[in-house]
Amino acid sequence: MVVYTDAMWAGGEGCVGIVIHDPDHARNGWPKVRYASARVPRALVRRLQDKEQQIGVMEALAAAAAYSSAPDQLRNRDVVHFIDNQGAMFGLAKGTSRDYDTARMAHVFHALAAALGCRVWFEYVPSGANISDLPSRREFTLLRKMGAAKFDVSWPEFHGSWSEVLLGTFRRMSRHSSKSAKRSRASILSAVASLRNVAPRVHV
């Protein structure tokens, strides 16, 4: 699987773009190329820490939204995920960031990946070669010429207590009957227990 994500931030508003290329589309029954584009709800933006520039957070949000929006297609797949923002990419790969909201997005991304059982490798791509730059700017002509199918964005939940967000994300997205899901849930529980020790020192 190949996933491209991108985000735009201008005038206090954000928009995300997602493009998914499935090389096994014929066998799996999915379109070869799917894309999504959505303006970030103002209610979500208002819940972020107040900063003039939110592009890094938007890029991390776009990445997590790919997995919350297409869980069935991405479940149990090997994924190469391209991003053109190095700060967001490194935060997602490490699972944390100095920026509070980006760190929360990274935590939710890893809960999503664990719940779906997908194995993700992040790679940097220059903006000019990032096809998801198009839907993040509401440009769809090329994607439509390619026969790409549109899908809706389902925003990941990342506010509330860490334990509620991480466990809630995992429970919604995982298939609880598998041994792998049970092992992943145990790992999430362990991570949540360790986070409780640092929670008083951060804003939650």
How many domains would you assign to the chain?
A: 1
Q: What is the CATH number of the domain that holds 10?
A: 3.30.420.10
For every one of its 204 residues, what pLDDT tens digit does the chain have, with 9 covering 90 and above?
999 999 999 989 999 999 999 998 878 789 999 999 999 999 999 989 988 889 999 999 999 999 999 999 999 999 999 999 999 999 999 999 999 999 999 999 999 999 999 999 999 999 999 999 999 999 999 999 999 999 999 999 887 777 788 888 888 888 765 566 566 666 766 766 665 555 444 443
Q: Which domain holds residue 121?
A: 2-201
Phi, psi of 47 (to 5 degrees): -85, -5
